[in-house]
């Protein structure tokens, strides 16, 4: 507080009736005592330290928001990102009329001059490739689903389908950056980092925000991902995603070196703490105390990880749900099982990447490989979370960075084709965590090319996820480059109420 | 009044009693409030402005009645501020989700009462030499820095800390000047130096160290966003280290900072730029680039220019101009148009949109190694001279050639090409008719052309046969069955000039192969734009295929020739345009053993199907192929012969062709052939030149390249882009600088060079301030302006505005001398304070913004690692060179990289490269060095002038467990065990190396206890000790006792994790 601030309060205005009224409003009328945080807020003019409301709940350790803005539905998120952009019309967006359009050109009235990637912008024809897969209605919702997802079909009524997602990006790098961070240009924090920043940790013995990169069985058309996707952007560095790995140390450097037992490590730390205490006595720097605490936390993290990755104690029923692939480190099934265990331990946000969905060609081979990787695993995750009573508080998200075109890239035949990137519509699903179940939201035209009903932009999607976490996306910001930066950016974004309970 | 408020008032009254009050100041007290809550709607962004009211201009605010100076009651703003929270009339409105605190409202009100005086934004006011303040403790102030710091301390009732002891100071200064812990001997010498200038002498020695440039350079590389990969999608290798090395050399040579700036922004525009000056322009080439399939060029060109503009703005102006990409800046006086005017300076280089996934994306220049540089200049001249001689000779004999060409109307390739062993030669250049003559066994025969055969222009003159076999049927071009009847044990060669207009095909071009008999025979095959040859008895069991590793665009004419020596796959070569190709051999392991040798011998490849063009018999047709000069030899041609064949057929073709249609390039080609064949003088000159060229290759192998900026000849320009979208161009703009800053003089060129010179003009308020502020933050952990990249209105105010101005003016007066500037600060009493704090200081100056004590903070990632390497004696002192790959856990790159990326598989180096300074570590942008990232190293995708400094458990895991740190601990432990005899001496020796001081008694007791515990542990468990000692690439000293070595290793590991070690 500057001398002037102090003078102002001292001199006269503290008696200003208006001011008192407004301050009473500011602190609420409950006679809340003025802690140091509030004093800081008052002194620094921190307009973002919003007042607690009765409906919000207390957040975790080191959370930027002391309370959520309102009661959250979800406490945790498991976000399954399908890298490359799954083909919506081969999986969820059933287009029976396309049978009649086989190898006919996409009508110009549908395409409407939309920009294309330079991979197909030179094509002279845009021959329509109807999906070669059979579709059937599933669950009470009657959602049309592909024959390639027999397990997921069994939990169709737990899912909330959005067939009307759309984005502006048409190539992978900007598109994946957009859906993960709310901006096509790199450098912004991702959803997981925002969640960690806002809601804090539930258990400091495990990382708050974990990232896992699953190994797809088929690697014909793997796309680039990058650590930038889970970096913290302008948010403080501790909110970056922590990689949880299937090879080597599960968390980087978590294992003691060879020849160093837990006991030896403990002794090292005991001496280290004593010496650091002396440093603190000598210099009085509070950071020294923080460091001592961080070393202790590191030790506890080391102790908790072996248990976390040990699947030996999992009952046979687990693998009946997730499939035997879950036993093999690095498979998608294994990562989702790990995700459940992490969330159970208190990890707030788990981001999983599953690659090879970029089907420019050879869908006939690639798509069954992809769906085989994820189908039973997704079923297992949802069933498992539900059995454990965790689904209500855990939001599961499934989807890619954009959709694919109804027309084929290159040649087309009835039994094989490829599809280019398509930003104008794609399908995602959510489950648990306050998402409505058995809901089918949004419609597209007969060509799965344009949205005809209830479009959901990436920003709306982000606003909705934050909403489920108890956060008002408009009020959740971080000061950087002189602006109150938000996940949803400056363009309008809305919570899609139809998706939330 | 609620009880809490009374308490607050009491607290404030008590703490404020000693502080003299002065008038509210717009810059300090008011603008931050406006910027936070009001300017978004009432600032300078005209598009976003509400109620036509702007509060950033006094007259405008008064005119609209928002403010009536000195009359609070008549100021609408005041009335609005104090409305109820839910009142839509309240300002800021509830819908904005912004809210003023009570204190902020009162401040605004008071300011209006005091007359509502505005001030221009502090950073845009020219720097002014501050007067020296009156001080209570004037003796403490060694120089004006101290005086200005002390004045602020005294105002706040704080006193400076005593001077740090010499060991602490020695360590701190070493870490700040060279980024490494001091040599223990240097520390002792300094401690024992009784002369008055002992500290200055110590500093001078450090400042002269070549590690100075490495340490200063490292900070600069963050700002310059240096990295070793392109950054997007494939994220392939970019050979950029010449720029990094230039930065280090520039600091070591103490290049003046103004020149340093000019060369980086515009070295290419200087008169006759040196290699160094060109290398410096890599600053503009460090931005991330893409080569993603499907990416749109213009979209990325816009992004690249934007990045360069933002980087230059952040680094040299401290302005976040990026905000003006889409709209007028909300706070700073940078309109959208001005952003694009500024960007126009950077919008005129020759760099393309796609990086090509290659290491040397144009434009680049060759950079000889430092050792070669003196020789290179001479050599380059020599090379030019040799080239000139050739050209002169050419010019001289050109008339003679022209005469020759005039006379020469027909020429036969046979004249020059070898006929030795030829079996069949078919020129296939007739251009009409249904039959074509060819030569076989010295006799001429007629070859019947299949129905549907047409003609296409040949590679040079003449028409080529154009075969388009139908899907079924015999209408490929077929020779009699006796042609090409070779066995796999025979030597033979075959090939032709070939063109295939449709890419991506898989079909036989030339073949004598029967698909129906398990592909028996041989062929020249087109496999997805690669050329291949099969030699097959029974596929796949007995036979092999050889494929070029390179792909070709078959839509161009290629001379493709297969030579075979009759001895299996290793004896088969494929030549394209006379060049022997790198090949891949495929074959069933029933046929092939190691190195492409036969395991099972083939029976026969002879078939009775004809030698065919356009399809293997019974196989898939080529969708069109043009053929000329087809030859079969019954021997294996040597490489030189194939080359001659290409030239001969080509030249013959060109000479025989229609003179009128002959292009100048073709005439030149004939000329080149002619001088080589007919002018011995030229041949001699050419030989000399070739010898120099091979020397040049050796120079190139020792050197590297630099990615440089080159200006297009056209005038720079840019377009204002609606919402920043690349495809929504509005007005075209010329280069220009923001109106809020001093104007660009008319005599400066409107290009990057003019911009650089404008930045450095004496009236420029930002450049020097921003630069000294960054330097200050390198020493004190935080800049005087904490937001080092944002000196705009939304940035934070300087903690010591007058000190900042003083430093900026001094830096200019020192003629931008970086070393002199640092020395000045390092000599100040402010810098030399002890870092020990007190509860009072923690209360009044918790973040040490007022500098009531010496700087103390956790070191940056690189320093943490370099510290351990230095203290242990492992650090390599080599400076510069190719980036290195030290230890990194497996899978860090592999998890994210594309399968085809050349930075997918991380293979650590060995030997010295494991122990280089961290600024030489290979920086893959999609996966920055793992241990450094954990310590807040940036990803180097965009300019970073400030790093986070977190304190996390993951950091503890790095320094406790990373191989690098364990190996360093073992190294120091074993070296100490050898050098010192008793425990006490050993401990003190270690302490001096890693703390620059001996242990205190209290510490010794703890350390000895730890040591005993470790000794007990490892003496009892020799197997565990051995495992620990085996960590790292270097070998442990086997002459020492394993248990003892392991125990001391763990002790050093413990000590290297001390807070004191990790902090400066």
pLDDT in tens, B704-734: 999 999 999 999 999 999 888 898 999 999 9
Percent of chain A with pLDDT over 70: 89
Whole-number pLDDT of residue B891: 92
Distances from the Cα of B472 to the Cα of A411, B502, B507, B1016, angstroms:
21, 19, 14, 86
ipTM field: 0.82
Whole-number pLDDT of residue B86: 82
Distances from the Cα of A304 to the Cα of A203, A301, A309, A349, angstroms:
11, 5, 9, 18
Render pLDDT for B132-151 as a digit per residue (tens, 0 to 9).
Answer: 899 999 999 999 999 999 99
Mean pLDDT of B828-847: 95
Render pLDDT for B741-754 as a digit per residue (tens, 0 to 9).
Answer: 999 999 999 999 99
Residues facing B543 on adjacent strands? B536
Q: What values do phi and psi take at A165, rounded to 5?
A: -70, 145
Distances from the Cα of B479 to the Cα of A96, A366, B451, B579, angstroms:
54, 44, 15, 28
State the best of B1059, B1060, B1064 to mutate against chain A, taking most chain A CBs within 10 Å: B1059
CB A28: neighbour CB atoms within 10 A?
12
Q: DSSP assignment of B423-459, as one string? A: EEEE-----SSSEEEEEETTEEEEEEPPTT-EEEE-S
User: Which of 467-486 (A) contact B at CB < 8 A?
Assistant: 472, 474-475, 481-483
**Cα B682 from chain centre:** 44
Single out the residue of B285, B288, B347, B359 nearest to residue B707, CA to CA.
B285
A285: contact with B, CB 8 A cutoff:
yes
CB B136: neighbour CB atoms within 10 A?
11
Confidence band, pLDDT 50/70/90 cuts, at residue B15: very low
Please give the residue that has the higher pLDDT: either A355 or B9. A355
CB contact under 8 A, A8 and B963: no
CB contact under 8 A, A243 and B950: no
Strand A349-354 relative to strand A209-214: parallel, antiparallel, unpaired? parallel
Render pLDDT for A215-228 as a digit per residue (tens, 0 to 9).
Answer: 999 988 888 888 88
d(CA B869, CA B877): 11
User: What is the 3-state secondary structure of B455-522?
Assistant: EEECCCCCEEEEECCCCCCCCCEECCCCCCCCCCCCCEEEEEEEECCCCCCEEEEEEEEEHHHCCEEE
Percent of chain B with pLDDT over 70: 95
Query: Which of A39, A115, A287 is facing B8, going by the closest CB pair?
Result: A39
A39 chain-B contacts, CB cut-off 8 A: 8, 11
Confidence band, pLDDT 50/70/90 cuts, at residue B5: very low
Whole-number pLDDT of residue B447: 85
Tokens for B290, please give them: 């893409």
CB A485 within 8 A of CB A188: yes
Whole-number pLDDT of residue B471: 57
A69 chain-B contacts, CB cut-off 8 A: none
User: Which of 68-107 (B) contact A at CB < 8 A?
Assistant: 82, 84-85, 97-107
Contacts of B24 (CB under 8 A, 6+ apart): A4, B30, B107, B110, B111, B114
Residue A41 pLDDT greater than 90, yes or no? no
CB A313: neighbour CB atoms within 10 A?
7
Tokens for B835, please give them: 């870092």
Tokens for B963, please give them: 């191989």
Tokens for B896, please give them: 């994210």
- DSSP letter at B315? I
Single out the residue of B26, B23, B31 nearest to residue B795, CA to CA.
B31
Strand B542-548 relative to strand B435-440: parallel, antiparallel, unpaired? unpaired
Q: What angle do CA A326, A331, A335 make, to 5 degrees?
A: 70
Residue B674 pLDDT greater than 80, yes or no? yes
Tokens for A89, please give them: 């019309």
Query: Which of B1, B110, B890 is facing A20, going by the closest CB pair?
Result: B1
d(CA A144, CA B417): 70
Q: What angle do CA B177, B180, B184 make, to 5 degrees?
A: 105
Whole-number pLDDT of residue A22: 35
d(CA B534, CA B549): 15
Render pLDDT for A360-371 as a digit per residue (tens, 0 to 9).
Answer: 988 999 999 999
Cα of first residue to Cα of last residue in chain B, in angstroms, is 48
CB A205 within 8 A of CB A297: yes
Q: How many CB pairs under 8 A join A and B?
A: 343
**How does the average pLDDT of chain B come out, rounded?**
90
Coil, strand or helix at A399: strand
Burial of B843 (0-12, 13-18, 19+ CB in 10 A): exposed
- Highest-confidence range of B40-44, B263-267, B586-590, by mean pLDDT? B263-267
Confidence band, pLDDT 50/70/90 cuts, at residue B426: confident
- DSSP letter at B290? B
A419: contact with B, CB 8 A cutoff:
no
Tokens 């922590």 sit at which residue?
A: A242
Whole-number pLDDT of residue B467: 82
Residue B903 pLDDT greater than 50, yes or no? yes
Tokens for B908, please give them: 């650590």
Q: DSSP assignment of B112-138, as one string? A: HHTT------GGGSPP-PPPPPP-TTG
A98: contact with B, CB 8 A cutoff:
no
Residue A67 pLDDT greater than 90, yes or no? yes
Residue B177 pLDDT greater than 50, yes or no? yes
State the best of B7, B12, B949, B1018 to mutate against chain A, taking most chain A CBs within 10 Å: B12
Residue B775 pLDDT greater than 90, yes or no? yes
State the best of B106, B313, B900 to mutate against chain A, taking most chain A CBs within 10 Å: B106
Confidence band, pLDDT 50/70/90 cuts, at residue A183: very high
Render pLDDT for B803-833 as a digit per residue (tens, 0 to 9).
Answer: 999 999 999 999 999 999 999 999 999 999 9
A291: contact with B, CB 8 A cutoff:
yes
Coil, strand or helix at A398: strand
Render pLDDT for A431-490 as a digit per residue (tens, 0 to 9).
Answer: 999 999 999 999 999 999 999 999 999 999 999 999 999 999 999 999 887 678 899 998
The model's pTM is 0.81
Q: What angle do CA B844, B849, B855 make, to 5 degrees?
A: 110
Coil, strand or helix at A80: strand
Render pLDDT for A370-409 as a digit per residue (tens, 0 to 9).
Answer: 999 999 999 999 999 999 999 999 999 999 999 999 999 8
Residue A51 pLDDT greater than 60, yes or no? no
Single out the residue of B742, B1049, B946, B841 nearest to residue B315, CA to CA.
B946
State the best of A19, A185, A205, A275 to mutate against chain B, taking most chain B CBs within 10 Å: A275
Whole-number pLDDT of residue B587: 84
């Amino acid at each position: 507080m500057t001398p002037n601030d102090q003078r102002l309060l001292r001199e006269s205005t503290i008696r200003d009736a208006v001011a008192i009224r407004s301050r009473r409003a500011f602190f609420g009328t409950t006679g809340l005592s003025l802690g140091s945080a509030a004093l800081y807020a008052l002194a620094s003019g921190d307009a973002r330290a919003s007042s607690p409301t009765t409906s919000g709940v207390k957040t975790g350790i080191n959370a930027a928001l002391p309370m959520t803005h309102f009661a959250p539905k979800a406490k945790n998120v498991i976000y399954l990102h399908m890298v490359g952009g799954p083909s919506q019309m081969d999986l969820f967006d059933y287009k029976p009329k396309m049978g009649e359009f086989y190898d006919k050109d996409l009508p110009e009235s549908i395409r409407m001059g939309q920009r294309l990637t330079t991979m197909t912008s030179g094509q002279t024809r845009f021959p329509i490739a109807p999906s070669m897969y059979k579709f059937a209605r599933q669950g009470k919702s009657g959602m049309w689903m592909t024959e390639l997802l027999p397990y997921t079909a069994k939990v169709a009524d737990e899912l909330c389908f959005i067939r009307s997602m759309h984005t502006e990006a048409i190539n992978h790098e900007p598109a994946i950056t957009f859906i993960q961070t709310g901006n096509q240009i790199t450098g912004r924090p991702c959803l997981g980092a925002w969640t960690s920043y806002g809601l804090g940790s539930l258990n400091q013995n495990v990382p708050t925000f974990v990232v896992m990169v699953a190994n797809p069985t088929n690697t014909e058309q793997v796309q680039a991902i990058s650590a930038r996707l889970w970096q913290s952007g302008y948010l403080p560095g501790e909110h970056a995603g922590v990689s949880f790995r299937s090879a080597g140390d599960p968390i980087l450097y978590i294992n003691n070196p060879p020849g160093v037992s837990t006991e030896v490590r403990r002794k090292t730390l005991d001496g280290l703490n004593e010496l650091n205490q002396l440093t603190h006595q000598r210099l009085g720097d509070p950071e020294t105390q923080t460091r001592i605490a961080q070393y202790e936390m590191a030790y506890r993290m080391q102790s908790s990880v072996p248990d976390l990755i040990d699947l030996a104690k999992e009952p046979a029923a687990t693998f009946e749900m997730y499939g035997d692939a879950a036993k093999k480190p690095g498979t998608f099934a294994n990562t989702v099982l790990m995700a459940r265990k992490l969330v159970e331990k208190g990890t707030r946000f788990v981001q999983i990447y599953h690659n090879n969905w970029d089907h420019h060609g050879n869908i006939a081979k690639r798509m069954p490989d992809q769906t085989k990787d994820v189908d039973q695993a997704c079923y297992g995750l949802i069933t498992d979370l539900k059995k454990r009573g965790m689904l209500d508080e855990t939001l599961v998200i499934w989807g890619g960075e954009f959709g694919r075109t109804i027309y084929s890239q290159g040649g087309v035949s009835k039994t094989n084709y490829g599809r280019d990137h398509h930003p104008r519509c794609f399908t995602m699903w959510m489950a648990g965590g306050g998402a409505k179940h058995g809901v089918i939201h949004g419609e597209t035209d007969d060509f799965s090319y344009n949205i005809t009903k209830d479009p959901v932009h990436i920003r709306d999607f982000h606003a909705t996820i934050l909403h489920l976490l108890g956060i008002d996306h408009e009020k959740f910001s971080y000061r950087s480059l002189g602006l109150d930066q938000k996940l949803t950016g400056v363009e309008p974004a809305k919570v899609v109420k139809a998706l939330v309970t | 009044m609620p009880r809490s408020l009374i308490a607050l008032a009491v607290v404030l009254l008590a703490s404020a009693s000693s502080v003299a009050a002065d008038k509210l100041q717009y810059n300090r007290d008011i603008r931050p409030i406006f910027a936070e809550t009001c300017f978004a709607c009432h600032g300078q962004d005209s598009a976003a402005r509400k109620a036509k009211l702007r509060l950033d201009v006094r007259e405008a605010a008064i005119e609209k009645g928002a403010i009536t100076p000195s009359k609070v009651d008549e100021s609408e703003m005041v009335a609005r501020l104090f409305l109820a929270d839910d009142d839509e009339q309240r300002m800021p409105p509830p819908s904005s989700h912004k809210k003023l605190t009570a204190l902020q409202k009162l401040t605004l009100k008071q300011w209006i009462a005091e007359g509502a005086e505005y001030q221009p934004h502090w950073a845009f006011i020219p720097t002014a030499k501050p007067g020296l303040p009156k001080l209570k403790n004037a003796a403490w102030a060694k120089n004006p820095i101290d005086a200005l710091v002390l004045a602020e301390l005294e105002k706040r009732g704080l006193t400076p800390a005593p001077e740090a002891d010499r060991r602490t100071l020695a360590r701190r200064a070493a870490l700040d000047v060279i980024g490494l812990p001091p040599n223990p001997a240097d520390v002792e010498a300094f401690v024992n130096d009784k002369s008055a200038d002992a500290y200055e002498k110590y500093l001078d020695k450090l400042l002269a160290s070549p590690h100075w440039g490495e340490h200063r350079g490292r900070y600069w590389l963050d700002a310059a966003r240096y990295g070793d990969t392109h950054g997007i999608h494939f994220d392939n290798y970019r050979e950029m280290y010449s720029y990094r090395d230039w930065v280090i050399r520039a600091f070591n040579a103490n290049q003046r900072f103004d020149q340093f700036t000019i060369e980086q922004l515009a070295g290419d525009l200087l008169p006759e730029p040196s290699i160094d000056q060109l290398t410096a322009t890599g600053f503009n080439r460090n931005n991330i680039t893409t080569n993603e399939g499907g990416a749109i060029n213009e979209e990325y060109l816009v992004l690249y220019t934007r990045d360069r503009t933002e980087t230059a703005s952040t680094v040299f102006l401290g302005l976040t101009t990026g905000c003006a990409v889409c709209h007028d800046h909300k706070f700073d006086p940078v309109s959208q148009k001005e952003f694009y005017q500024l960007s126009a300076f950077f919008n005129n280089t020759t760099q393309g949109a796609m990086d090509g996934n290659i290491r040397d994306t144009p434009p680049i220049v060759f950079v000889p190694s430092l050792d070669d540089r003196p020789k290179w200049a001479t050599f380059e001249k020599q090379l030019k001279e040799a080239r000139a001689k050739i050209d002169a000779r050419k010019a001289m004999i050109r008339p003679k050639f022209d005469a020759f060409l005039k006379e020469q109307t027909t020429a036969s390739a046979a004249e020059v090409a070898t006929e030795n062993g030829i079996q069949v030669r078919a020129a296939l250049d007739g251009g009409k008719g249904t039959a074509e003559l060819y030569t076989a066994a010295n006799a001429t025969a007629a070859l019947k052309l299949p129905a549907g055969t047409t003609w296409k222009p040949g590679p040079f003159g003449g028409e080529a046969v154009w075969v388009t076999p139908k899907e079924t049927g015999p209408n490929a071009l077929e020779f009699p069955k006796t042609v090409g009847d070779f066995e796999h044990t025979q030597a033979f060669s075959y090939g032709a000039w070939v063109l295939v207009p449709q890419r991506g095909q898989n079909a036989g071009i030339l073949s004598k192969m029967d698909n129906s008999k398990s592909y028996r025979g041989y062929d020249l095959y087109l496999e997805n734009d690669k050329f291949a040859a099969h030699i097959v008895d029974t596929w796949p069991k007995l036979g092999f295929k050889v494929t070029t590793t390179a792909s070709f665009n078959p839509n161009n004419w290629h001379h493709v020739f297969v030579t075979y020596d009759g001895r299996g796959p290793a004896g088969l070569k494929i030549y394209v345009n006379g060049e022997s190709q790198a090949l891949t051999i495929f074959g069933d392991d029933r046929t092939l053993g190691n190195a492409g040798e036969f395991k099972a011998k083939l029976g026969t490849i002879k078939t009775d199907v004809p030698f065919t063009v356009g399809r293997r018999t019974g196989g898939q047709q080529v969708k069109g192929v043009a053929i000329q000069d087809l030859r079969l030899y019954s021997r294996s041609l040597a490489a030189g012969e194939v080359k001659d064949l290409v030239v001969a057929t080509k030249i013959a073709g060109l000479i025989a062709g229609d003179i009128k249609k002959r292009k100048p390039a073709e005439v030149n080609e004939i000329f080149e052939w002619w001088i080589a064949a007919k002018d011995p003088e030229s041949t001699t000159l050419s030989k000399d030149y070739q010898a120099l060229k091979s020397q040049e290759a050796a120079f190139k192998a020792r050197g590297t390249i630099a990615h440089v900026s080159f200006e297009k000849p056209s005038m720079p320009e840019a377009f204002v882009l609606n919402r920043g979208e690349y495809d929504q161009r509005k007005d075209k703009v010329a280069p220009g600088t923001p109106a809020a800053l001093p104007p660009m003089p008319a005599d400066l060129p409107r290009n990057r060079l003019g911009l650089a010179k404008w930045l450095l003009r004496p009236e420029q308020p930002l450049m020097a301030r921003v630069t000294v502020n960054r330097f200050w933050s390198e020493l004190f952990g935080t800049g005087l302006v904490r937001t080092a990249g944002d000196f705009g209105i939304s940035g934070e105010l300087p903690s010591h505005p007058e000190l900042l101005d003083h430093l900026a003016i001094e830096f200019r007066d020192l003629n931008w001398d970086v070393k002199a500037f640092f020395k000045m600060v390092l000599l100040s009493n402010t810098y030399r304070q002890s870092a020990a704090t007190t509860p009072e200081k923690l209360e009044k100056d918790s973040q040490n913004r007022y500098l009531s004590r010496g700087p103390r903070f956790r070191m940056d990632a690189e320093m943490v690692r370099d510290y351990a390497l230095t203290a242990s004696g492992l650090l390599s002192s080599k400076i510069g060179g190719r980036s290195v790959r030290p230890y990194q856990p497996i899978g860090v790159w592999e998890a994210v990289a594309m399968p085809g990326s050349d930075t997918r598989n991380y293979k650590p180096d060995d030997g010295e490269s494991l122990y280089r300074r961290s600024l030489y570590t290979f920086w893959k942008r999609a996966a920055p060095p793992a241990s450094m990232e954990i310590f807040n190293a940036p990803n180097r995708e965009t300019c970073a002038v400030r790093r986070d400094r977190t304190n996390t458990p993951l950091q503890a895991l790095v320094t406790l467990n990373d191989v690098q740190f364990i190996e360093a601990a073992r190294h120091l432990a074993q070296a100490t065990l050898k050098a010192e005899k008793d425990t006490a001496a050993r401990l003190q020796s270690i302490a001096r190396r890693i703390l620059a001081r001996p242990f205190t008694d209290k510490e010794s007791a703890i350390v000895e206890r730890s040591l005993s515990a470790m000794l007990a542990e490892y003496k009892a468990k020799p197997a565990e000790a051995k495992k620990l000692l085996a960590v790292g690439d270097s070998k442990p000293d086997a002459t020492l006792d394993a248990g003892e070595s392991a125990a001391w290793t763990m002790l050093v590991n413990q000590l290297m994790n001390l807070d004191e070690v990790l902090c400066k």
